[in-house]
Amino acid sequence: MKLVFATGNLNKMREIREIMSGLDFDICSMKEAGIDLDIDENAETFEGNALIKARAVRNALDASGSEELKKAVVLADDSGLEIDALGGAPGVYSARFMGEDTGYDIKNAEIIKRLSGKTGKQRAARFRCVIAAVFPDGRELTASGCFEGVIANAPGGENGFGYDPILFLPEYGMTAAQLSSEEKNKISHRGKALFEMRKLLETTC
């Protein structure tokens, strides 16, 4: 089955390929499928935005003229960091928090600053991910996953991307950016959502 991923985020795409490797899916990014779209993610939920992205790319593939791409299933990932002490922010605005072009060293430092004085469970946070699938016949599926932790007192680790250096995982005694990519993919929001989606695709198709 050909799967086209509706993401322009190269770090997500790398993780998606790692998680789906060895399976019987022919995976490509929207860029590799020749689709260049600026999608307005204007929903207020991860599920809503994942569906907006997947539907937009599905429509673009229909218009592409390629018979192979017309039959592809489009998948999209919408994800973000939810911090309890900030009322769930940045949440669906994770990529846009402090501006899309602001570096994650600055965004992460600002989050740590906003949590100053908070300890233990007051620092609870999690990554959430919703994967949406849109089929050529219009059917839609969604699957979700979450990755629980607390906001670290200081950023740590060089692996991963985005907010990984500030999500501290008490069970592992390290941040998400200190896990290897293999370890992160096994327990992450994205790993869990994709595992669920794989099962749905296998039973649906």
Would you please indicate which residues are annotated as catalytic (active-site) residues?
A: 78
Interface residue with ligand ITT, options 2, 9, 28, 183 (CB under 6 A): 9
Instruction: Examine residue 168 and tell whether it contacts ligand ITT (CB under 6 A).
Output: no
- Taking the least distance from each CB to ligand ITT, the nearer of 86 and 95 is 95
Interface with ligand ITT, residue 128, by CB under 6 A: no
CA 146, distance to chain mean position in Å, is 10
Task: Single out the segment in contact with ligand ITT by CB under 6 A; choices: 54-62, 77-85, 133-141, 193-201.
Answer: 77-85
192: left (phi over 0), alpha (psi -120 to 50) or beta: alpha
Longest dimension (CA), the chain: 58
- 127 counts as binding ligand ITT under rule CB under 6 A: yes
Q: Least distance to ligand ITT from the beta carbon of 7, Å? A: 3
Contact call for residues 110 and 98 (beta carbons, < 8 A): yes
- Measured in residues, the chain has a length of 205
- As a whole number of angstroms, the distance between CA 148 and CA 127 comes to 7
- Selected from 55, 80, 125, 169, the binder of ligand ITT by CB under 6 A is 80
For residues 179, 185, 186, 192, the Cα torsion angle rounded to the nearest 10 degrees is 140
Determine if 84 is a binding residue for ligand ITT (CB under 6 A): no
Choices 20-28, 79-87, 111-119, 151-159 (CB under 6 A): range interacting with ligand ITT: 79-87
Member of 29, 94, 142, 144 binding ligand ITT (CB under 6 A): 94
Enumerate residues 174-203 that contact ligand ITT by CB under 6 A: 188, 190
Q: What is the DSSP letter of 155?
A: -
Q: Is 162 in the site for ligand ITT (CB under 6 A)?
A: yes
User: In what side-by-side order are the strands of the sheet with 2-5?
Assistant: 26-29, 2-5, 73-83, 124-134, 140-151, 167-169, 174-175
Told to check if 37 binds ligand ITT by CB under 6 A, we report no
User: Is residue 46 within a helix (H) or strand (E), and if so which, with residue range?
Assistant: helix 46-62
Which one, 80 or 149, has the nearer CB to ligand ITT?
A: 80
For ligand ITT, the binding residues (CB under 6 A) are 7-9, 12, 41, 53, 77-81, 94-95, 127, 160-164, 188, 190
